[in-house]
Amino acid sequence: MIKNLNRSLFPVSGSLFLITVFLLFNSISYANEKASQCTGSDVVVKFSNIDDFYMACRSVNELMDVAQKIGLNEDLNISILFVDSLSINITGKSLAVFNPNTMKIEVLSIAASQKNFGDEAVLGLQMDKELHRSVITHELAHALFWQNMKKTIIAREIHEYFAYVIQLSLLDPSHRKEIIAANDVPAFLDRSEMTEEYYLLNPTRFAVKSYLHFVNRNNDWPSLLRLFKE
């Protein structure tokens, strides 16, 4: 989810661990919270659990690879925060949000997600670590889109098409196959079928139809940019 402004809105102990962290990351501790920068990027992650940091940075690295394939500037000067509640939650059903005003992504912890949404929290499936990571990927895609297209007014459904295509493309095949099988819908035929109304009524089906449309384009990453002109 992105606030649409145009519309308003893993454990190691001992000295080896300390040396590794010191060498790889530029970390600052705030009580139980740390802030570290993902290697090879400008993305800073604020976390309490080191596994969350590695998970977020994996998504950052994968997104940078995709950005190159698309032909976008992959530099992201943003922060990712793991939180128990979102400071912005327009729909009341959000697991994460990118705020272009602050250039921050807030992501609910797995525990908070399960508490607030129970089963079927992510694209119709029960939350696990891989699906949790895919939520981060989705918001990173919004941030990438924003940094590259912020001078152009793009419809909300295209923002979401872009984010869902990247989210599902970078999701592991077993989860992706399960999501597609549970949503027996055809691909979007063309741009005219991609509407904000369809997205709002059924985001999961919108996601599947978007991904299948992309697959029908032979996973042609530069086509994501051409779509904006259709």
Examine residue 10 and state whether it is found in any structural domain, yes or no.
no
Query: pLDDT per residue over 74-104, tens digit each?
Result: 889 999 999 999 987 666 678 999 999 999 9
Which tens digits make up the pLDDT trace of 132-144? Answer: 999 999 999 999 9
Query: How far apart (Å, rounded) are the C-alpha atoms in residues 143 and 202?
Result: 23
Is 45 contained in some domain?
yes
**Rounded to whole angstroms, how far apart are CA atoms 100 and 142?**
9
Query: What is the H or E stretch that residue 173 is in?
Result: helix 173-182
- Return the H-helix or E-strand segment holding 144: helix 129-149
Position 8 in a domain: no
Closest CA to 55 of 95, 107, 16: 107
Domain with residue 121: its CATH number is: 1.10.390
Does 192 fall in a domain?
yes
Q: What span, in angstroms and rounded, lies between the C-alpha atoms of 4 and 164?
A: 16
116: containing domain: 15-227
From start to end of 50-139, where are the E strands? 79-83, 96-99, 104-108
For residue 142, being part of any structural domain is answered with yes
Number of structural domains (the chain) is: 1
Give a yes or no: residue 1 inside a domain.
Answer: no
Higher pLDDT among residues 90 and 216, named by residue: 216
Q: Is 135 helix (H, G, I), strand (E, B) or coil?
A: helix
Q: What does the pLDDT look like over 58-74, one tens digit per residue?
A: 999 999 999 999 999 88
Mean pLDDT, the chain, integer: 83
> Residue 92: what pLDDT?
64
Banded pLDDT at 7 (limits 50, 70, 90): very low
**Predicted TM-score of the model (pTM):** 0.83
Give the residue from 128, 201, 208 showing the smallest Cα distance to 168: 208
Determine, yes or no, domain membership for 208: yes
Task: Give tens-digit pLDDT for 111-164.
Answer: 888 888 776 678 888 889 999 999 999 999 999 999 888 767 789 999 999 999
50 occurs within a structural domain: yes
pLDDT tens figures, 47-61: 999 999 999 999 999
